[in-house]
Amino acid sequence: MEIVAYGVQADEEPLLREAFDRAFGSGHELRCLGLFLNRDTAPTADSHEVVLCSVNDTLDAEVLRSLAQGGTRMIAQRATGFNNIDLTVAQELGLTVARVSYYSPYSVAEFAWALALAVDRRIVRAAHRTREFDFRLDGLMGRDLHGRTAGVVGTGKIGTAFARIAHGFGMRLLGWDITENPDCLALGMEYVAPERLFGEADLVSLHVPLLPNTHHLVDAEALALMKDDAILVNSSRGGLVDTDALLETLRAGRLSGVGLDVYEEEAGLFFLDKSLEVMTDERLARLMTFNNVLVTSHQAYFTRDAVEQIAETTVRNVEDYFAGRTGDNTLVRPEPA
């Protein structure tokens, strides 16, 4: 059987193939495509029972119906988040949907810190200058993070890893989540209401999933509460931040720095080369004009360790499907006949 994978990155493909070869040998052939799954590309999945998708594929009702009509019965998401999949429609169609519920939390937590430090210490601006042999320090002054307050929004595995690093920097820890994590409490974290966290934190880092109640969690009201010289980092999901409100905040000269590895309209942009095209997304283009904003293209998870774990878990999800099993990674399972 041929299994088709969409949105496969060049560095990801050999790791994905190795995992499939170890599990299936010649039993199943893996077809890796760089194109993303959406309403235009869905017909290419015809006759493929199993489809592997990425976080920037669009699996809305129209796409899912096209897949089901073409013979697809199982969708394996190579990511933790699944806000790009209409699970209700998948259930109605009798599809099995699985995800990767866990991979290295350090990959994302460490990258979030890379963003925080880069905007705090003006690393990108400094690098651009020195490449032009401009060695002035004007405009490059940052500040110590030691002794300041880190606000961690979401204290699951990634948020906890981020908090441990903040603790190592000697920062005071504020957290917000629906449940308190004992590991974070052991670090001295104080759980507070989001209003207090946004108001007191010098650095706010987002580590919650994108759900209806977290959409635009960082809106105009939350941004208004933040200190004028605070740093905001989002390495989770773009929809957590209201981009229009963020642009207004930046235009007002507020926030010391913003590090974004995700963007709420990134589908159709991130993971693709748009360098020879006119950027029609005006909000993203405007974000790029602020010298205290650093945008990267959803690469926080992209370490060899994490991608290997994602590939191996995806293989296990496919194995479970063929064996008629479900597990913790299963998001949708067909109703029994």
Token pair belonging to 303: 């370490």
Choose the catalytic residue: 122, 266, 312, 316. Answer: 266
> What is the distance between the alpha carbons of residues 78 and 203, in angstroms, rounded to a whole number?
30
Catalytic annotation present for 266: yes
> What is the distance between the alpha carbons of residues 254 and 78, in angstroms, rounded to a whole number?
37
Choose the catalytic residue: 237, 264, 312, 316. Answer: 237
What is the radius of gyration, based on Cα positions, of the chain? 21
Q: Which residue has the tokens 């108001």?
A: 199
Choose the catalytic residue: 48, 78, 207, 298. Answer: 298
| Nearest to 1, CA basis, from 49, 34, 44, 68 | 49
| Nearest to 78, CA basis, from 100, 57, 97 | 100
Starting at the edge strand found earlier in the chain, the sheet holding 74-77 runs 29-32, 2-5, 50-53, 74-77, 96-98, 330-332
For residue 260, give the H/E element and its range.
Answer: strand 257-260
> What is the distance between the alpha carbons of residues 49 and 57, in angstroms, rounded to a whole number?
17
> What is the distance between the alpha carbons of residues 15 and 238, in angstroms, rounded to a whole number?
27
Catalytic annotation present for 31: no
| Residues assigned a catalytic role | 237, 266, 298
